A and B are shown apart, each in its own frame.
Chain A
Amino acid sequence: MSALVDNRRAKLSEYLPWIARDYLTDQGPSTAIIIVLIALFEAQMFRMGTGTRLATMPQDVAARLLRGLAGILAFLGTFFATNGIVSNDRKQGYYRFLFAKPVSPPSYYALVFGMYGAGLLVVVLALLCVWAVIVRPMFPIELFGAVAVLYLAYGGIGFLLSAAWRFDWMSLVTALLVARLCWSVWGNATGPAHWLLYLLPPVHRADNVVDIVMRSAGTPVPWNLIAWLGGYGLLCFVLGMVVIRKRPLGTS
């Protein structure tokens, strides 16, 4: 039977440049523009407060400013990258042509998720270059690590929600806010209720991960936190893959 003989799955690796192009012409610039605007606002506040030019900003102040921006960048960059990552194809009907091809949907979306994460790191590098020109050259390798961990943490949750239903951005923001609230209220409680908190994303510890950006010499890397946040996101990502496999593509 000719249909059986012609067994030729798509080589998704050849599609990678197109995914990278999508990110770098869509979500990437949006992320960069928003972060630059926030940075300009903060720089203006700094100038008004101290009367000092950006180029002469003390090293420790520049590091603090960078650390603050890193947290916003990790959250917004991930939010832009993963919002609608799966649900948009269902809502818009793009899945019809995409997955009539010999392509596995979980593999396709795993590739998109990975490539968008790599794209976010490219945006981080581009923003550091802008920072180097305007403020001073600072290329802390920890910044890339922190953004990558938070991409996995926030992005994994976003990926799962996007695979599960169409209201992904709203439910992601709600989940993160509820988790922060619950951890702040019952984080120090004891008893069985305390253990239920571990079902929620540990986003209240995200700031501790971002702190590694301005970590002083000798301060240990919080590997346990990284594993907790990253592991939680990874688990959500895997669940998202299962949902994509199990949930029929034609349901929105």
Chain B
Amino acid sequence: MRAGSRAARDDATSPRDSALIEFQGVGHTYRSILGRTVRAVEDFSLSIGESEVFGLAGPNGAGKSTLISLLLGYLEPTNGSIRIAGLRPRAFVERHGIGYLSELIAIPTRWKVEDALQRYGILAGVRRHELAARVAYVIELLGLEEQLGKRVKQLSKGNLQRLGLAQALLRDEGVIILDEPTHGLDPLWTQVFRDIVEALRRPGRAIFIASHNLDELQRLADRVAIIDGGRLQRIVEPRAALGGSTTYIISIVGDAAAIADVFPGARPRGAQEWEMPELDLATLNAGITRLLQRGVLVSSLRPAHSVLEQHFREAVGE
């Protein structure tokens, strides 16, 4: 990593509020019985604030799942240390619990949906007198009413995903980890999921979301770490980055020649649609004003790539 980007990374690895989760120089190497090794995570340092929605993005095999397993204490770091509220992950989980949705939903297939929620509720530490109400709450929240009598093996992928999310929300946890949370959800339930995460946001709760869906992270996360090859490549604050330079796609109605005059370097993409060169917001707005003055109407304007997508492409070298 270049010196400049390292300096930027060091600054961005700290949250704005006090840290709840801290990775310090964490590495993890898988070893087979035959002695072969695979380095999954390397020199990973990061702090996550106690009221933060934090995203984790990376290509397949980047080390996301390993990082989550380390955070839950399912694996031990080969190097470095991880602390959650000052405790080792396993100690934290056994004392407080974590609301966790894994990428692969593994629930015994013979369990019925309602039984599964009752069981996980007890194990989550929900008290007996609150259990029925908490189970009813997550059933309604995730729309599982019609699935209650079904066995887990009878559920569709989407319903299984909703059951997984429901069990993660049974208790009012201080740390929530969601691994590919919208995998298998239809667009309606994807939107419901986003609303749920927004509603979960509160002081004193850290939410950690790992996803391939950059649009989702762009909308939900305060900061997003991009990892590749087991290393932290950069941390992006999607909302703060919105003001930066980017390329836009513009569609107009009117004199097409005006585009070339106002935005030199714009490339046509289709009927009345152009991809503009990289622009900052001030230049973009000045150009649009000039277009309007020349009687051209702008029918649509959107970034060619989201800010996060742009960072992602740069970080993983695509």
Contact = CB atoms under 8 A, between A and B. Distances in A.
B102 interface: yes
B200 to A, nearest CB: 13
A9 B97 CA distance: 8
B20 A10 contact: no
A101 B69 contact: no
Contact of B20 (A3, A7, A95, A104): A3
B97 A102 contact: yes
A222 interface: no
Contact of B85 (A3, A99, A104, A251): A3
Given A3-B174, A7-B95, A101-B97, A96 B102 contact: yes
Nearest to B76: A248
Interface stretch (A11-19, A51-59, A182-190, A200-208): A11-19
A15 B122 contact: yes
A8 B94 CA distance: 9
Given A7-B96, A100-B98, A102-B96, A18 B125 contact: no
A4 interface: yes
Given A1-B85, A94-B106, A10 B123 contact: yes
A111 to B, nearest CB: 11
A221 B118 CA distance: 45
Contact of A18 (B76, B104, B119): B119
Contact of A93 (B76, B99, B106, B115): B106
Nearest to B66: A250
A92 interface: yes
B93 A99 contact: yes
Interface string B88-108: 000011111111101010111
B124 A102 contact: yes
Contacts of A18: 115, 118-119, 122
Q: Is the interface of A mostly helix, strand, loop or mixed?
A: loop
Interface string B202-214: 0111100000000
A116 to B, nearest CB: 15
B106 A96 contact: yes
A19 to B, nearest CB: 10
Given A6-B174, A101-B123, A102-B97, A1 B104 contact: no
A2 B204 CA distance: 5
B17 to A, nearest CB: 11
A4 B75 contact: no
Contact of A97 (B120, B174, B206): B120
A138 interface: no
Interface residues of B, number: 48
Contact of A100 (B18, B100, B104): B100
Interface string B159-184: 00000100110011111010000000
Interface string A237-252: 0000000000011110
Interface in A167-220: none
Chain B CB count within 10 A is highest, among A18, A100, A251, for A100
A98 interface: yes
Contacts of A14: 122, 128
Interface in B108-123: 108, 115, 118-120, 122-123
A53 B94 CA distance: 59
Contacts of B97: 8, 10, 100-102
Contact of B93 (A92, A93, A100): A100
Interface in A1-44: 1-4, 6-11, 14-15, 18
A103 interface: yes
A15 B107 contact: no
Interface in B39-80: 50, 69, 72-76
Interface in B7-59: 18, 20, 50
B95 A102 contact: yes
B102 A102 contact: no
Contacts of B171: 8
Contact of B123 (A15, A92, A251): A15
B22 to A, nearest CB: 13
A250 B167 contact: no
Contact of B74 (A2, A4, A11, A248): A248
In the A-B complex, list the 5 residue pairs whose CB atoms are closest, starting with the nearest: A3-B174, A2-B204, A93-B106, A250-B74, A100-B100
18 contacts: A1-B174, A3-B92, A3-B96, A4-B96, A6-B173, A8-B127, A9-B94, A15-B122, A18-B118, A18-B119, A92-B106, A97-B106, A100-B97, A101-B97, A102-B93, A102-B96, A248-B75, A250-B75
Given A1-B18, A10-B124, A100-B177, 9 more contacts: A6-B174, A8-B97, A9-B125, A94-B107, A96-B74, A96-B102, A97-B167, A99-B93, A100-B93
